[in-house]
Amino acid sequence: MDFARLVTPDGQHALAEARQLLGKDRLAAITALRERFDPGLAADALSQAALRERAVAKFGEGAWGMYFTAAGLEQATRPIVAARRAERLGASRNVVDLGCGIGSDLMHLGGTGIERDPDTAKCAELNVPAARVIPGDAQDFDLSTVDTVFCDPARRSGGKRVFNPRDYSPPWDWVVSLPERVPRTVLKLAPGIDQSLLPPGCELELVSVDGDVVEAAAWCGPLARVPRRATVIRKGVAHELAGTGTRRAPVGEPRRYVYDPDGAVVRAHLVAEFASTVDGVLGDPSIAYVYSSIYVENAFSRAFEIDEIMPFSLKRLRAALRARDVGRLEILKRGSAVDVETLRRELKLGGTNAASLMLTRIAGDPVAVILR
Ligand SMILES: C[S@@+](CC[C@H](N)C(=O)[O-])C[C@H]1O[C@@H](n2cnc3c(N)ncnc32)[C@H](O)[C@@H]1O
């Protein structure tokens, strides 16, 4: 994409017109644009306007003034997460973002961004005029005078997500050795990162936004404060739970309430820490549902009152849900092999009430729990 052209007055007009044409089919839109602009600019403006429209979900209305590549948008950190991270890092003399993408983190970090993909680097330069963006390979950057490193390696290759850290770019071995060179290092990682691969002594933070676990971050060297932290952001407000990640929650009989901990709490291995805040126990040592006799309003879980617990049986469950005239059913499961969609079909619900159902195991036995 010719970004240099898009930023000219002609390019800006093309972008504004392309935005107005976004609802139309692509052929009609491109034909209309070509009447006013040359074919290359018309195509770039339409693609960029479409990316901006997609970016609104992540960046809000500000996306209409930003520049994106498709992969750059896909991998960009959500602004609320980037802003919190930069705030925790505080003022830094010389921070470098190794693999800065379109600059979502760089916007909050300031300093220098290195980006290998030339189009994406151009976007970062346009999106973060206050930063210095260097197109090139992060591995070639001289870190000797750097005070703080942020690295968010690409977890995609050829448009597909990669799950093995060894396929990250820059390469994992290099990424994980960064704290040896610059102790104040933060690495952004996939939420499912194999925790045995982390740099020794780091703090692993798991972050969720409105119920979705969006990332993990390893805070290295002097930046580590606790072994594990869950940051749960709901409706724009962040709540933090910290602990060792090795504590075991007590196990006991189910009680009146059940708490379904947020994915960030579960992935940070902080279920025991959470359970102690609600005086709770697990019904099964390997399953992260927490039972308690008390109801405690909190940001780290969803809470339900238990209506009935029964051994799992389709016939019995169907009868119980029909007796409650249930038509709409939310199904939660942990530790159950039941296929939720098949079960939903087999239940053939036709009632007028809504209910929640939990499929799990208690003391090793499969159970269905009807929730209020
Ligand atoms: C996950 S994205 C970064 C997203 C960024 N934190 C943001 O919020 O916009 C990773 C970026 O690293 C870049 N990258 C991958 N390998 C690189 C390397 N060796 N040197 C520099 N950049 C690299 C990719 O092109 C990609 O844009």
Residue-level pLDDT, tens digit, the chain, 372 residues? 999 999 999 999 999 999 999 988 989 999 999 999 999 999 999 999 999 999 999 999 999 999 999 999 999 999 999 999 999 998 777 999 999 999 999 999 999 999 999 999 999 999 999 999 999 999 999 999 999 999 999 987 777 777 788 888 999 999 999 999 999 999 999 999 998 999 999 999 999 999 999 999 999 999 999 999 999 999 999 999 999 999 999 999 999 999 999 999 999 999 999 999 999 999 999 999 999 999 999 999 999 999 999 999 999 999 999 999 999 999 999 999 999 999 999 999 999 999 999 999 999 999 999 998
Distance (Å, whole) CA 238 – CA 234: 6
**Residue pair 213/237 in contact by the 8 Å Cβ criterion:** no
Residue of 238, 240, 221 lying closest to 230 (CA atoms)? 240
In this structure, the residue with its CA closest to atom 1 of ligand 1 is 154
In this structure, the residue with its CA closest to atom 17 of ligand 1 is 170
Q: Where are the alpha helices (H) located in 288-333, listed in sequence order? A: 314-323
Map residue 65 onto helix, strand or coil: helix
Distance (Å, whole) CA 188 – CA 204: 10
Q: What is the pLDDT of residue 91?
A: 74
Q: What is the pLDDT of residue 75?
A: 95
Which two structure tokens, joined as six digits, stand for 275?
Answer: 């359970």
Distance (Å, whole) CA 124 – CA 114: 9
Distance (Å, whole) CA 359 – CA 372: 14
Among 134, 152, 189, which residue has the most ligand 1 atoms within 8 Å of its CB, making it the best to mutate?
152
Alpha carbon of 201 to ligand 1 centroid (Å): 25
Q: What is the pLDDT of residue 146?
A: 95
Distance (Å, whole) CA 214 – CA 190: 8
Burial class (CB in 10 A: 0-12, 13-18, 19+), 114: buried
Q: Does ligand 1 come within 6 angstroms of the Cβ of 10?
A: no
Alpha carbon of 115 to ligand 1 centroid (Å): 6
Segment (H or E) for 330: strand 326-333
Q: Does ligand 1 come within 6 angstroms of the Cβ of 149?
A: no
Q: What is the pLDDT of residue 163?
A: 74
Which two structure tokens, joined as six digits, stand for 14?
Answer: 């093309």
Instruction: Pick the atom of ligand 1 nearest to 75's CA.
Output: 1
Q: What is the pLDDT of residue 127?
A: 98
The reported pTM is: 0.92
β-bridge pairing 301-311 and 257-261: antiparallel
Residue of 93, 95, 113 lying closest to 103 (CA atoms)? 113
Q: What is the pLDDT of residue 76?
A: 97
